[in-house]
Each structure stands twice: as C-alpha cells, then as structure tokens.
Amino acid sequence: MTVDRRRVVADALVVLGGAALVASAFAHWVSEGAGSGLRGHALVDAIIAVGRHLPGLSAARITVLWYLVPASGAASWVTLGLRGAGSRATRIVAIVAVVVTVGSVAAIGGLVGYSKLGFGAGLALTGACALGVGAWVVAPRRATARTRV
C-alpha cells in the first residue's frame, strides 16, 4: 500500500470514527428498562433515580464521561484538519476517545446490564475503534532524523 493510499484510508477512518462518536450522542445507549428513551444527563439521572450506582462514580462523573465521547469525536476532526491523521495530536485524541468510550460503556453497562446496552453504545465503540485504527495503524509514520534506510 502506497503512502498516499494509507493517508487517504487513515483520513477516512478518522473522519468516520469521529462521526460515529458524535452520532452516538443522538442514539439510544440503553435499549430497554430505565432510561431507554433518554440520552445524556437525563439518561444517567434516570438510571441513578431507580437506585442503581457504581462505587466511586457519581452521576456527575458518569455524565461528564458520557459527554466526552462525542467531544472526542469532534476533537478528532479538528486535529485531522490541522495536523493530519498520523500526527501526535490525532493519536492523543484517539487514545482519549478509546479510554472515554470504553469507560462510558463500562459505566452505563454496569448500571443497566450489558445485555441492555443499545445502538449508541455499539456505535461509540465502533467509532473509537475506527479512530484508533486510523490514527495508529493505518496512518503513515512521519520520517524523523533517526530514520535509516
């Protein structure tokens, strides 16, 4: 695969991964039970209101974690446009996106049960994976002074 093709594929993965992360904010994260028709702060409040909780994670922390998922998707677009898919900034955003998404899915899944997770959680995980693969695996490496041929 040539460098130009790698760059195009990496750019596409970062754009699509970011889009999936942003779109997950508008999709249902819980398919049934408490909070199934809600998103964001209302979703977390509904889950906590029925008496479910995770030790060490307050409703505010879970809400902030959930809001960081689409924010990291939007940040990936900014870093892609400014620096490119293989840049350090895009790779840092990709790591943040993966950590935040896995944390959000784990927190909400732990509250409602993983079998009740909806389309939004899967969409977010898919987006984080695409973003991570695009930034870390497919994106061409930048040449450095230490690179030898």
Residue 84 lies in a domain: yes
Number of domains forming the structure of the chain: 1
Using DSSP, state whether 28 is helix, strand or coil.
coil
The 8-class DSSP code of residue 32 comes to: S
CA distances from 72 to 19, 47, 93, 115 (A): 10, 24, 6, 25
Residue 146 lies in a domain: no
Alpha helices in 50-141 (DSSP H): 59-83, 88-112, 119-133
pLDDT digits (tens, 9 = 90+) for 30-41: 888 777 777 777
Mean residue pLDDT across the chain: 87
Using DSSP, state whether 2 is helix, strand or coil.
coil
Give the mean model confidence (pLDDT) for residues 112-130: 93
Structure-token pair, residue 90: 């895009």
Residue 143 lies in a domain: no
Give the mean model confidence (pLDDT) for residues 115-137: 94
What was the pLDDT predicted at 78?
Answer: 96
Q: Are residues 21 and 93 in contact, defined by beta-carbon separation less than 8 angstroms?
A: no
Q: Which domain holds residue 125?
A: 3-138
Residue 61 lies in a domain: yes
Residue 147 lies in a domain: no
d(CA 89, CA 70): 17
Residue 149 lies in a domain: no
pLDDT digits (tens, 9 = 90+) for 61-76: 888 999 999 999 999 9
Residue 44 lies in a domain: yes
The pTM of this model reads 0.87
Break the chain down into helix, strand, coil percent, rounded to 5.
Answer: 70, 5, 25
How many beta carbons lie within 10 A of that of residue 50, not counting itself? 11
* pLDDT band at residue 143 using 50, 70 and 90 as cut-offs: low
Residue 88 lies in a domain: yes
